[in-house]
């Protein structure tokens, strides 16, 4: 197999004329929030039919001009990824499973009829940005530099067909906790809207899926809950996932369950990592369908003792209460459970370099 160094394209380095001053940056890093502050640089690579990928640059983060007929503005041919760079206990920097994000990005690209980006180029683009913006990585517990690689159809054309040109960009945003509420667990609202149907784009990370989740998410907030949970689109019965996180259930016999990847659920990298970590602990984890009725019954009988959401942005977040048109129920004590906290600590310790990395998930950037 070719190494990264042999296959990676060259990135032109454009100097930043006016980087953020350190006082402003340090103020942001002290309380980064989520998704509102951005680092100084970005990566950009173009793709043109007949030419392929070209003009890779790393330079100042700046607005991009789009023609009003740019295809993405009309037919939403857009995909993205989310991963994080973590400050390490020894002062270094590490990425967590960036190759998995690269592979998922290409799965999304295939579903949206977009060109694939070689995985080594994806990983190198992220490394380039993290190196350029290494001073933007917050170090406090629960914080990191959130990286957002994305690609959109840039052709100026209104016909409905795959575009003939695309732009791939990577931006970075210092991030703290995703849920601001500070509550020990989140409450979720069962939506009657569907997120994804069989044969649709549920397993792809495309912007359109999130656009469709905004009304249900707003409904969850209106009802006083933090997040929306979606059921399957056919029977409106099986629990799928939240708007931006996968779900796990923990039972009183110490076993776990996470909804199986049916094609309508996003295959989360955190989900997959926790599956391995739980099995490393000798726990039994089932990937199966789980119905809302069963969820309610198990919570009421006490068979279900913990439930948590997981994802890059949310890490591992306990779910305390579930509400919907049919009433509300509480899981366990309504707060963080023991196994949830243990798995979260195991994951975060690997990401932050305070525990060994038996699966080789961590990519050190030095």
DSSP per-residue codes, 195-222: S--TTSSTTS-BHHHHHHTHHHHHHHHH
Q: Hey, which residues between 299 and 328 contact ligand PLP (CB under 6 A)?
A: 311-312
Instruction: Report d(CA 292, CA 314) in Å as an integer.
Output: 22
Residue 216's closest CA among 324, 104, 344?
324
Site string for ligand PLP, 10-29 (x = CB under 6 A): --------------------
Instruction: Report d(CA 172, CA 130) in Å as an integer.
Output: 8
244 sits near ligand COI (criterion: CB under 6 A): yes
For ligand COI, give the closer residue by CB, 163 or 309: 309
269 sits near ligand PLP (criterion: CB under 6 A): yes
One residue of 313, 322, 343, 362 binding ligand COI per CB under 6 A: 313
What is the closest distance, in whole angstroms, from the C-beta atom of residue 272 to ligand COI in the complex? 14
What is the closest distance, in whole angstroms, from the C-beta atom of residue 241 to ligand PLP in the complex? 5
Q: What is the torsion angle, in degrees rounded to the nearest 10, for the CA atoms of residue 82, residue 350, residue 246 and residue 337?
A: -140
Pairing verdict, β 315-324 and 186-190: parallel
216 sits near ligand COI (criterion: CB under 6 A): no
Site string for ligand COI, 81-120 (x = CB under 6 A): -x--------------------------------------
Pairing verdict, β 227-231 and 186-190: parallel
CA distances from 109 to 80, 153, 294 (A): 9, 11, 36
Q: Is the dihedral of CA 206, 323, 248, 284 positive or negative?
A: negative
Which range, of 36-44, 135-143, 291-299, 311-319, touches ligand COI by CB under 6 A?
311-319
308 HSE (CA, 13 A, CB side): 26
What is the closest distance, in whole angstroms, from the C-beta atom of residue 246 to ligand PLP in the complex? 5
Angle, vertex CA 352, rays to CA 349 and CA 353, nearest 5: 80
For ligand COI, give the closer residue by CB, 77 or 227: 227
The single residue listed with the structure tokens 């043109």 is 48
Q: How many residues bind ligand COI (CB under 6 A)?
A: 5
Phi, psi of 266 (to 5 degrees): -75, 125
What is the closest distance, in whole angstroms, from the C-beta atom of residue 244 to ligand COI in the complex? 2
Instruction: Report d(CA 121, CA 103) in Å as an integer.
Output: 11
Site string for ligand PLP, 123-152 (x = CB under 6 A): ------------------------------
Which range, of 52-60, 248-256, 280-288, 305-313, touches ligand COI by CB under 6 A?
305-313
Which range, of 53-61, 66-74, 244-252, 316-324, touches ligand PLP by CB under 6 A?
244-252
Number of H helices, E strands in the chain: 10, 18
For ligand COI, give the closer residue by CB, 244 or 318: 244
DSSP per-residue codes, 133-177: TGGG---STT-EEEEEEEEEE--B--SSS--SEEEEEEEEEEE--
For ligand PLP, give the closer residue by CB, 125 or 312: 312
One residue of 228, 266, 285, 347 binding ligand PLP per CB under 6 A: 266
One residue of 101, 128, 312, 317 binding ligand COI per CB under 6 A: 312
One residue of 115, 311, 318, 324 binding ligand COI per CB under 6 A: 311
The single residue listed with the structure tokens 């689109």 is 233
Q: Hey, which residues between 202 and 231 contact ligand PLP (CB under 6 A)?
A: none
Site residues (vs ligand COI, CB under 6 A):
82, 244, 311-313
Summarize as ranges the residues that interact with ligand PLP (CB under 6 A): 82, 241, 244-246, 266, 268-271, 311-312
């Amino acid at each position: 197999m070719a190494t990264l160094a042999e296959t990676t394209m060259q990135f032109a380095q454009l100097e930043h004329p006016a980087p953020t001053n350190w006082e402003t940056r340090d103020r942001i890093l002290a309380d980064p929030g989520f998704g509102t502050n951005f680092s100084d640089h970005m990566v950009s690579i173009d793709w043109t039919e007949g030419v392929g990928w070209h003009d890779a640059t790393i330079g100042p983060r700046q607005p991009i001009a789009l023609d009003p007929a740019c295809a993405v503005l009309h037919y939403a041919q857009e995909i993205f990824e989310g991963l994080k760079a973590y400050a390490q206990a020894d002062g270094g920097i590490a990425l967590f499973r960036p190759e998995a994000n690269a592979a998922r990005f290409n799965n999304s690209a295939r579903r949206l009829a977009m060109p694939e980006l070689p995985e080594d180029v994806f990983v190198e683009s992220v490394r380039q940005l993290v190196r350029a913006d290494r001073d933007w990585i917050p170090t406090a517990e629960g914080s990191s530099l959130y990286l957002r690689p994305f690609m959109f159809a840039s052709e100026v054309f209104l016909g409905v067909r795959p575009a003939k040109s695309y732009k791939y960009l990577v931006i970075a945003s210092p991030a703290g906790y995703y849920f601001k509420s500070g509550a020990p667990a989140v409450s979720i609202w069962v939506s009657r809207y569907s997120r994804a149907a069989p044969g649709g784009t549920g397993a792809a990370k495309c912007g359109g899926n999130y656009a469709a989740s905004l009304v249900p998410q707003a409904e969850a907030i209106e009802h006083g809950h933090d997040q929306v949970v979606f059921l399957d689109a056919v029977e409106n019965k099986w629990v799928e996932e939240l708007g931006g996180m996968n779900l796990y259930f923990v039972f009183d016999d110490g076993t776990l369950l996470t909804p199986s990847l049916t094609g309508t659920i996003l295959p989360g990298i955190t989900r997959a990592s926790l599956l391995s970590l739980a099995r490393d602990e000798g726990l039994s984890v089932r990937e199966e369908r789980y119905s809302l009725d069963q969820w309610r019954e198990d919570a009421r009988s006490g068979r279900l003792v913990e439930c948590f959401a997981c994802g890059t942005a949310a890490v591992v977040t306990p779910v305390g209460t579930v509400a919907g048109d049919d009433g509300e129920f509480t899981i366990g004590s309504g707060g963080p459970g023991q196994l949830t906290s243990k798995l979260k600590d195991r994951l975060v310790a690997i990401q932050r370099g305070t525990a060994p990395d038996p699966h080789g998930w961590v990519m050190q950037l030095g």
